[in-house]
Amino acid sequence: MELLLLSNSTAPGRRYLEHAVDALTDILQGIDELVFVPYALADHDGYTTQVRTALEPLGVSVTGAHADDDALSKASAIFVGGGNTFRLVKALQVSGQLDVIRDRVRNGTPYVGSSAGTNIAAPSLRTTNDMPIVQPPSFETLGLVPFQINPHYLDADPSSTHQGETREERIVQFLEENDVPVLGIREGTWLRRRSETLTLEGLPTGARLFRRGASPQEIPSGSDLSELLKVATAFDA
Angle at 27 between CA 191 and CA 1, to 5 degrees: 65
- Catalytic residue, candidates 152, 179, 223, 226: 152
CA dist 78 and 97 (Å) reads 12
User: Which value, in Å, is the radius of gyration of the alpha carbons in the chain?
Assistant: 17
Q: What is the pLDDT of residue 74?
A: 95
DSSP states of 96-150: THHHHHHHHHHTT--EEEETHHHHTTSSBSTT--S---S--S-SB---SSSSEEE
Clarify whether 130 is annotated catalytic: yes
- Among 7, 19, 130, 221, the active-site one is 130
* Every domain of the chain and the residues it spans: 2-152+183-207+218-230
**pLDDT beneath 50, residues of the chain:** none
115 part of the active site: yes
pLDDT of residue 185: 98
The phi, psi pair for 232, rounded to 5°, reads: -90, 140
Strands of 189-194's sheet in order across: 61-64, 33-37, 78-80, 111-114, 2-6, 189-194, 197-202
Model confidence pLDDT, tens digit, residues 12-44: 888 999 999 999 999 999 999 999 999 999 999
Residue 154 Cα to chain centre, angstroms: 16
Task: Name the CATH code of domain 2-152+183-207+218-230 (choices 1.10.10.10, 3.40.50.880, 3.30.470.20, 3.20.20.140).
Answer: 3.40.50.880
**Comparing C-alpha atoms, which of 136, 142, 221 is closest to residue 183?**
221
Predicted local distance difference test score (pLDDT) of residue 233: 93
Rounded to two decimals, the pTM is: 0.96
pLDDT on residue 188: 96
pLDDT of 64 reads 97
Return d(Cα 28, Cα 79) in angstroms, integer. Answer: 11
Q: pLDDT tens digits, residue range 117-140?
A: 999 999 999 999 999 999 999 999
Which of 9, 115, 124, 221 is an active site residue?
115
For the chain, what is the total number of helices (H) and then of strands (E)?
6, 11
